[in-house]
Structure 1
Amino acid sequence: MGSDYVETPPGEETLNFPGKVYRWDYSKGYRVFISAESGEVLEISATASDAETNLGAGVGDRADKVFSIYRNTYIEPESVHGGKLYGLFKVEGAAALYFNFNLKEGQTPKDIRADNVVERIILTTPALLDDSF
């Protein structure tokens, strides 16, 4: 992704991460969280209009396209807290790929319809989502 980013150094706020993190914000619409302790990439978030996964699902795509690609290969797991995790897929390497759709206020991922579009794609791990699947 290059070196065109603004780095935010570790602070007291750790969000859902297991420790302090660096945040790299790219002007094109990517955000990367890196462990301050290990240097490991913990999460990548993309809102860039040209962002897409290795299977070709991207920001701006309709839910029906995303689901036709991902539901054929991966599962939308059940949360340990109860309920299916709609729009979130368990992918290779124990990773979680989450498609955030343009839902209206008060709607939940269970309300995703075919014409909802992807606003953000997040690659992370279940533990960082406060889940285990």
Structure 2
Amino acid sequence: TLDIRLVDAIEALAKALTDSLTQPGFRESNASCFPLQPWSSGAQVLSNVMSLSSFDSGRGEISYNSTTGFFNAQGVEIVASFTEQSGVAARFELSGRFSSGSLRKLFHKSGGAFVFPNTFTGFKNATLVVCCPM
């Protein structure tokens, strides 16, 4: 199995929500999907997301870059299950980390034992691009 952790975007939103709750005048409200309608608290939460700077997620710092409109985060990781031999329980090994626009290999092992080959190419030799828009 391949576990792609895109936790930083979720943590950034959670941080923005938590910060919003402490601000004067913020009122808790529900977002409605049926019928779909604007979330009355959405603008304030979005403002808090966009003002994130050097938030420590435990995996690295998360900041919102207002120039590019992207998060600067180092916690997007690719983890693959790996076994040394057939019939042995799989363990998860961090195989790469996305940082500063490039995917860096951290775990070097090839062969059939690695469920997700550490090549970072997708099916039919297409480049695997992992992104998390916010």
Relative to its length, the structure with more helix (as a share) is 2
Could you tell me the TM-score, scaled by structure 1's length?
0.25
Could you tell me the TM-score, scaled by structure 2's length?
0.25
Q: Determine which structure has more spread, i.e. the larger CA radius of gyration.
A: 2
